[in-house]
Chains A and B, each alone.
Chain A
Amino acid sequence: MTTQEWIFVVLGIVGAGAAVRLVTARNVVHAALYLVVTLATVAAVYLLLAAEFVAWVQVLIYVGAILVLLLFGLMLTRAPIGREALDNQQRGLSAIVGLGVLAGLIVLLWQAFGDDRIDLTTSSTALVGESLFRNFVLPFEVVSFLLLAALIGAIVLARRDEA
Protein backbone atom coordinates (compact mmCIF):
# COMPACT_ATOMS: atom_id res chain seq x y z
CA MET A 1 0.00 0.00 0.00
CA THR A 2 1.24 3.45 -0.87
CA THR A 3 1.17 6.45 1.46
CA GLN A 4 -1.89 7.87 -0.29
CA GLU A 5 -3.73 4.60 0.27
CA TRP A 6 -2.95 4.64 4.01
CA ILE A 7 -4.17 8.23 4.27
CA PHE A 8 -7.26 7.22 2.33
CA VAL A 9 -7.99 4.34 4.71
CA VAL A 10 -7.78 6.67 7.71
CA LEU A 11 -10.02 9.25 6.02
CA GLY A 12 -12.48 6.55 5.00
CA ILE A 13 -12.76 5.18 8.54
CA VAL A 14 -13.27 8.67 9.99
CA GLY A 15 -15.82 9.65 7.32
CA ALA A 16 -17.78 6.40 7.44
CA GLY A 17 -17.80 6.43 11.25
CA ALA A 18 -19.11 10.00 11.31
CA ALA A 19 -21.77 9.08 8.73
CA VAL A 20 -22.92 6.14 10.88
CA ARG A 21 -23.07 8.41 13.94
CA LEU A 22 -24.99 10.94 11.82
CA VAL A 23 -27.83 8.50 11.18
CA THR A 24 -27.84 7.12 14.72
CA ALA A 25 -27.36 10.31 16.79
CA ARG A 26 -30.10 11.10 19.31
CA ASN A 27 -29.60 14.85 19.17
CA VAL A 28 -30.23 16.70 15.91
CA VAL A 29 -27.45 19.25 16.48
CA HIS A 30 -24.97 16.43 17.09
CA ALA A 31 -26.15 14.89 13.82
CA ALA A 32 -25.44 18.18 12.02
CA LEU A 33 -21.93 18.30 13.53
CA TYR A 34 -21.26 14.72 12.41
CA LEU A 35 -22.40 15.80 8.95
CA VAL A 36 -19.64 18.47 9.06
CA VAL A 37 -17.05 15.73 9.70
CA THR A 38 -18.40 13.57 6.87
CA LEU A 39 -18.45 16.44 4.36
CA ALA A 40 -14.94 17.54 5.38
CA THR A 41 -13.55 14.02 4.89
CA VAL A 42 -15.20 13.92 1.46
CA ALA A 43 -13.42 17.21 0.64
CA ALA A 44 -10.14 15.66 1.80
CA VAL A 45 -10.84 12.65 -0.44
CA TYR A 46 -11.23 15.02 -3.40
CA LEU A 47 -7.86 16.57 -2.52
CA LEU A 48 -6.33 13.09 -2.34
CA LEU A 49 -7.79 12.34 -5.79
CA ALA A 50 -6.04 15.53 -7.04
CA ALA A 51 -9.29 17.40 -7.76
CA GLU A 52 -8.52 20.56 -5.82
CA PHE A 53 -11.18 22.86 -7.27
CA VAL A 54 -13.95 20.36 -6.46
CA ALA A 55 -12.51 20.02 -2.94
CA TRP A 56 -12.69 23.75 -2.25
CA VAL A 57 -16.15 24.00 -3.80
CA GLN A 58 -17.18 21.17 -1.47
CA VAL A 59 -15.86 23.09 1.54
CA LEU A 60 -17.46 26.37 0.44
CA ILE A 61 -20.88 25.13 -0.68
CA TYR A 62 -21.47 22.11 1.56
CA VAL A 63 -19.73 23.00 4.81
CA GLY A 64 -20.24 26.74 4.33
CA ALA A 65 -23.71 27.11 2.86
CA ILE A 66 -25.78 23.91 2.96
CA LEU A 67 -24.84 23.06 6.52
CA VAL A 68 -25.68 26.56 7.76
CA LEU A 69 -29.04 26.24 5.96
CA LEU A 70 -29.67 22.90 7.69
CA LEU A 71 -28.75 24.38 11.08
CA PHE A 72 -31.20 27.23 10.42
CA GLY A 73 -33.82 24.61 9.60
CA LEU A 74 -33.11 22.87 12.93
CA MET A 75 -33.28 26.20 14.73
CA LEU A 76 -36.63 27.22 13.23
CA THR A 77 -38.30 23.87 13.92
CA ARG A 78 -38.68 22.31 17.33
CA ALA A 79 -35.93 19.70 17.64
CA PRO A 80 -36.83 16.91 20.03
CA ILE A 81 -34.16 14.74 21.63
CA GLY A 82 -34.25 10.97 21.87
CA ARG A 83 -34.30 7.96 19.66
CA GLU A 84 -38.05 7.44 19.56
CA ALA A 85 -38.62 11.09 18.61
CA LEU A 86 -36.12 11.06 15.74
CA ASP A 87 -36.41 7.53 14.34
CA ASN A 88 -39.50 5.69 13.13
CA GLN A 89 -40.46 2.08 13.80
CA GLN A 90 -38.75 0.66 10.69
CA ARG A 91 -35.17 0.72 12.03
CA GLY A 92 -34.59 -3.02 11.65
CA LEU A 93 -36.02 -3.18 8.15
CA SER A 94 -34.05 -0.05 7.17
CA ALA A 95 -30.83 -1.61 8.48
CA ILE A 96 -31.50 -4.75 6.40
CA VAL A 97 -32.11 -2.65 3.27
CA GLY A 98 -28.99 -0.54 3.93
CA LEU A 99 -26.78 -3.59 4.49
CA GLY A 100 -28.26 -5.19 1.36
CA VAL A 101 -27.39 -2.10 -0.70
CA LEU A 102 -23.88 -2.08 0.82
CA ALA A 103 -23.27 -5.78 0.11
CA GLY A 104 -24.59 -5.51 -3.45
CA LEU A 105 -22.50 -2.44 -4.27
CA ILE A 106 -19.31 -3.88 -2.75
CA VAL A 107 -19.63 -7.22 -4.58
CA LEU A 108 -20.43 -5.53 -7.92
CA LEU A 109 -17.70 -2.87 -7.67
CA TRP A 110 -15.11 -5.36 -6.44
CA GLN A 111 -15.79 -7.75 -9.33
CA ALA A 112 -15.69 -4.92 -11.87
CA PHE A 113 -12.76 -2.81 -10.61
CA GLY A 114 -10.97 -4.94 -7.99
CA ASP A 115 -7.39 -4.51 -9.20
CA ASP A 116 -7.55 -1.27 -11.18
CA ARG A 117 -5.39 1.66 -10.10
CA ILE A 118 -5.81 5.37 -10.63
CA ASP A 119 -2.80 7.14 -12.14
CA LEU A 120 -3.28 10.51 -10.49
CA THR A 121 -2.76 13.62 -12.58
CA THR A 122 -3.37 17.04 -11.08
CA SER A 123 -6.26 18.88 -12.70
CA SER A 124 -5.76 22.57 -12.01
CA THR A 125 -8.51 25.10 -11.50
CA ALA A 126 -7.54 26.68 -14.84
CA LEU A 127 -8.24 23.40 -16.66
CA VAL A 128 -11.60 22.99 -14.91
CA GLY A 129 -12.64 26.52 -15.80
CA GLU A 130 -11.50 26.16 -19.40
CA SER A 131 -13.49 22.97 -19.88
CA LEU A 132 -16.50 24.37 -18.04
CA PHE A 133 -16.77 27.44 -20.24
CA ARG A 134 -15.72 25.72 -23.45
CA ASN A 135 -17.71 22.46 -23.37
CA PHE A 136 -20.39 22.93 -20.71
CA VAL A 137 -21.66 26.47 -21.17
CA LEU A 138 -25.27 25.50 -21.82
CA PRO A 139 -25.57 23.21 -18.75
CA PHE A 140 -23.91 25.98 -16.71
CA GLU A 141 -26.60 28.46 -17.77
CA VAL A 142 -29.33 25.89 -17.11
CA VAL A 143 -27.98 25.40 -13.57
CA SER A 144 -27.97 29.15 -12.98
CA PHE A 145 -31.59 29.32 -14.13
CA LEU A 146 -32.43 26.39 -11.83
CA LEU A 147 -30.85 28.21 -8.88
CA LEU A 148 -32.90 31.31 -9.69
CA ALA A 149 -36.09 29.22 -9.82
CA ALA A 150 -35.20 27.54 -6.51
CA LEU A 151 -34.53 30.94 -4.92
CA ILE A 152 -37.90 32.32 -5.99
CA GLY A 153 -39.66 29.08 -5.04
CA ALA A 154 -38.12 29.03 -1.56
CA ILE A 155 -39.12 32.65 -0.94
CA VAL A 156 -42.68 32.04 -2.16
CA LEU A 157 -43.01 28.92 0.03
CA ALA A 158 -41.51 30.31 3.22
CA ARG A 159 -43.14 33.77 3.06
CA ARG A 160 -46.01 34.40 5.46
CA ASP A 161 -49.25 35.32 3.72
CA GLU A 162 -50.37 38.70 4.95
CA ALA A 163 -53.85 38.75 3.59
Chain B
Amino acid sequence: MIRLSFPLMFSAVLFAVGVYGVLARRNGVLVLMSIEVMLNAVNINLVAFSQFFQDNTLLAGQIFTLFVIAVAAAEVGIGLAIVILIFRNRETINVDEVNLLKW
Protein backbone atom coordinates (compact mmCIF):
# COMPACT_ATOMS: atom_id res chain seq x y z
CA MET B 1 0.00 0.00 0.00
CA ILE B 2 1.34 3.39 -0.94
CA ARG B 3 -0.35 6.72 -1.36
CA LEU B 4 -0.84 7.70 -5.00
CA SER B 5 0.08 11.29 -4.15
CA PHE B 6 3.67 10.37 -3.20
CA PRO B 7 4.84 9.41 -6.71
CA LEU B 8 2.73 12.24 -8.15
CA MET B 9 4.43 14.83 -5.89
CA PHE B 10 7.88 13.43 -6.70
CA SER B 11 7.16 13.67 -10.42
CA ALA B 12 5.77 17.21 -10.02
CA VAL B 13 9.03 18.29 -8.33
CA LEU B 14 11.15 16.64 -11.03
CA PHE B 15 9.07 18.26 -13.78
CA ALA B 16 9.33 21.74 -12.24
CA VAL B 17 13.10 21.33 -11.80
CA GLY B 18 13.35 20.26 -15.46
CA VAL B 19 11.37 23.32 -16.58
CA TYR B 20 13.73 25.55 -14.61
CA GLY B 21 16.75 23.81 -16.12
CA VAL B 22 15.52 24.18 -19.70
CA LEU B 23 14.79 27.88 -19.17
CA ALA B 24 17.86 28.85 -17.14
CA ARG B 25 20.67 26.82 -18.69
CA ARG B 26 22.52 28.05 -21.77
CA ASN B 27 24.78 25.04 -22.37
CA GLY B 28 23.13 22.77 -24.98
CA VAL B 29 24.03 19.49 -23.29
CA LEU B 30 22.66 20.70 -19.93
CA VAL B 31 19.38 21.65 -21.65
CA LEU B 32 19.18 18.08 -22.99
CA MET B 33 19.77 16.72 -19.46
CA SER B 34 16.92 18.86 -18.09
CA ILE B 35 14.63 17.51 -20.83
CA GLU B 36 15.52 13.98 -19.70
CA VAL B 37 14.50 14.88 -16.14
CA MET B 38 11.10 16.09 -17.40
CA LEU B 39 10.58 12.88 -19.42
CA ASN B 40 11.38 10.86 -16.30
CA ALA B 41 8.77 12.79 -14.34
CA VAL B 42 6.16 11.86 -16.95
CA ASN B 43 7.24 8.21 -16.84
CA ILE B 44 6.78 8.05 -13.05
CA ASN B 45 3.22 9.29 -13.52
CA LEU B 46 2.53 6.68 -16.20
CA VAL B 47 3.75 3.80 -14.02
CA ALA B 48 1.96 5.10 -10.91
CA PHE B 49 -1.38 5.42 -12.69
CA SER B 50 -0.90 2.03 -14.35
CA GLN B 51 -0.68 0.52 -10.86
CA PHE B 52 -3.45 2.73 -9.48
CA PHE B 53 -5.99 1.62 -12.08
CA GLN B 54 -5.09 -2.06 -11.54
CA ASP B 55 -4.31 -2.46 -15.24
CA ASN B 56 -2.82 -5.95 -14.86
CA THR B 57 -3.49 -7.46 -18.27
CA LEU B 58 -2.97 -4.58 -20.73
CA LEU B 59 -0.24 -2.82 -18.66
CA ALA B 60 -0.62 0.18 -20.97
CA GLY B 61 1.12 2.61 -18.61
CA GLN B 62 4.28 0.54 -18.24
CA ILE B 63 4.50 -0.24 -21.95
CA PHE B 64 3.99 3.41 -22.85
CA THR B 65 6.84 4.17 -20.43
CA LEU B 66 9.05 1.80 -22.42
CA PHE B 67 8.10 3.62 -25.61
CA VAL B 68 8.87 6.99 -24.02
CA ILE B 69 12.30 5.70 -22.96
CA ALA B 70 13.00 4.51 -26.53
CA VAL B 71 11.92 7.85 -28.01
CA ALA B 72 14.07 9.66 -25.41
CA ALA B 73 17.08 7.63 -26.54
CA ALA B 74 16.44 8.64 -30.16
CA GLU B 75 15.94 12.26 -29.12
CA VAL B 76 19.23 12.38 -27.20
CA GLY B 77 21.09 10.85 -30.13
CA ILE B 78 19.77 13.41 -32.61
CA GLY B 79 20.10 16.26 -30.09
CA LEU B 80 23.75 15.51 -29.40
CA ALA B 81 24.49 15.21 -33.12
CA ILE B 82 23.01 18.69 -33.59
CA VAL B 83 24.94 20.06 -30.57
CA ILE B 84 28.23 18.66 -31.88
CA LEU B 85 27.49 20.04 -35.35
CA ILE B 86 26.81 23.50 -33.88
CA PHE B 87 30.03 23.29 -31.86
CA ARG B 88 31.97 22.37 -34.99
CA ASN B 89 30.55 25.33 -36.94
CA ARG B 90 30.26 28.04 -34.27
CA GLU B 91 32.81 27.03 -31.57
CA THR B 92 30.07 27.37 -28.95
CA ILE B 93 27.13 25.34 -27.72
CA ASN B 94 25.42 28.18 -25.85
CA VAL B 95 21.85 27.99 -27.07
CA ASP B 96 21.31 31.75 -26.69
CA GLU B 97 24.14 32.50 -29.14
CA VAL B 98 22.68 30.29 -31.87
CA ASN B 99 20.32 32.85 -33.39
CA LEU B 100 20.68 32.39 -37.15
CA LEU B 101 16.97 31.62 -37.51
CA LYS B 102 15.90 34.39 -35.14
CA TRP B 103 14.06 37.25 -36.79
Chain A residues packing against B (C-beta within 8 Å): 2, 4-5, 8-9, 11-12, 15-16, 19-20, 22-23, 28, 31-32, 35, 38-39, 42, 45-46, 48-51, 53-54, 57-58, 61-62, 65-66, 69-70, 72-74, 76-80, 85-88, 90-91, 93-95, 97-99, 101-102, 105-106, 109-110, 113-121, 123, 127-128, 131-132, 135-136, 139, 143, 146-147, 149-151, 153-154, 157-158
Contact = CB atoms under 8 A, between A and B. Distances in A.
The B interface, classified by DSSP as helix, strand, loop or mixed, is helix
Contacts of B65: 51, 54
Contacts of B25: 23, 86-88
A95 B6 contact: no
Given A22-B17, A131-B59, A5 B2 contact: yes
Contact of A131 (B63, B77, B96): B63
A132 to B, nearest CB: 5
A51 B51 contact: yes
A57 B62 CA distance: 11
Contacts of A116: 3-5, 52
B78 A150 contact: yes
A78 to B, nearest CB: 7
Give chain A's interface secondary structure class.
helix
B98 interface: no
Nearest to A23: B21
A35 B23 CA distance: 17
A120 B29 contact: no
Contacts of B15: 101-102, 105
Given A54-B65, A65-B73, A76-B87, A90 B13 contact: no
B19 A109 contact: no
Given A65-B73, A77-B93, A116-B3, 15 more contacts: A2-B2, A22-B34, A54-B66, A62-B36, A66-B73, A87-B24, A97-B19, A97-B23, A98-B17, A102-B13, A106-B9, A109-B5, A113-B8, A150-B75, A151-B77
A23 B34 contact: yes
Interface string B9-31: 11011111111110111111110
Contacts, number: 258
Contacts of A143: 67, 70-71
Contact of A150 (B7, B40, B63, B74): B74
Nearest to A150: B74
Contacts of A109: 5, 8-9, 12
